[in-house]
Amino acid sequence: MLYPAHHKNFSLNYQQIELLLNDLSPGGRRSLLHHLEKEGYILRENLLGQSWITITGQGKRQCKRLFPAFSDHWQAWQGEWELLVFLSAPKNDPQFRYLRNLLLEERAVFLSRGVYAVPGKLSEKVLAVVESLYQRAVAVFAISEWKFGSEQEIVIEQLGLTDIIEAYSGISREIRELLENCDKNVRLTNQQKLLFIPVFDRFWENVTMDTGFARYYVPNAPTAADMLSQLQKLLFCMYADNNSLI
């Protein structure tokens, strides 16, 4: 089979796109692809008469902004945190409700009343809100390690990391079972191919909740990047019989 040189990481053909976006009409898929191309997130390429969709550098950066689990930051993260502590509530938010909700949306770890921890650094969004609305109402501290207290237990429980790890393990197992037939050059049945859709849906559901640093606490845990690589391998395997370019 001949594919674009970079297909292993970043390219899909239209049949694969159709499967991934099966809930959209053909017109809806065309509109979405046109929008992504216009924004500079994807390119359309042709190779020996076959059309391919390839993610651009800008598209990859946008994905990493939207999905922390794909960020390269976590590969080098060594357990640094920033703590945000509520001091005296301002008049514009007397119960810190807005700031509290914002922190929880960004998956900060609730340690105790008015104390939240964020792995790495507070986001630019949170910092901008703090600077504009909470001057002298909060304090921010950087810490490099936890001296006392069950960090792993607290973080895993607060962020639901166990559920994500278990979900990825189950998804990985199902993908491997489907790939076994491909590796033996056994063509998947249409019924087996349809199993891809619920597997991908479960991956999507979990990756949107994944903060990306579970492997720091559970080194052998599968990651979102692992899952994505396996899913793409399965996609190419499923359509190899139709998409071979000799």
Establish whether domains 1-66 and 80-144 are of one fold: no
How many C-beta atoms lie closer than 10 Å to residue 24's C-beta?
14
Structure confidence at residue 39 (pLDDT): 93
pTM beyond cutoff 0.75: no
Structure tokens at 58: 């800008």
Structure confidence at residue 244 (pLDDT): 32
Say how far apart CA 24 and CA 33 lie, in whole Å.
Answer: 12
Kindly report the backbone phi and psi dihedral angles of residue 143, in degrees, each rounded to the nearest multiple of 5, phi listed first: -130, 145
Structure confidence at residue 147 (pLDDT): 81
Question: Residue 4: pLDDT above 70?
Answer: no
Q: In percent, how much of the chain has pLDDT > 70?
A: 88
Structure tokens at 190: 């249409």
Question: Residue 241: pLDDT above 50?
Answer: no
Q: Which fold has domain 80-144?
A: Alpha-Beta Plaits (3.30.70)
- Could you name the CATH architecture of 1-66? Orthogonal Bundle (1.10)
How many C-beta atoms lie closer than 10 Å to residue 84's C-beta?
21
Structure confidence at residue 3 (pLDDT): 42
Closest to 207 in 3D by CA, of 85, 69, 75: 69
Beta bridge pairs of residue 116: 84, 110
Structure confidence at residue 246 (pLDDT): 21
Cβ atoms of 214 and 183 within 8 Å: the answer is no
Encoded amino acid at 221, one letter: A
Question: Residue 9: pLDDT above 70?
Answer: no
DSSP string spanning 70-120? Answer: G-THHHH--S-EEEEEE-S--TTSTT-HHHHHHHHHTTPEEEETTEEEEES
Structure confidence at residue 221 (pLDDT): 83
Domain boundaries, the chain: 1-66, 80-144, 159-241
Min mean pLDDT across 2-11, 126-135, 151-160, 235-244 is at 2-11
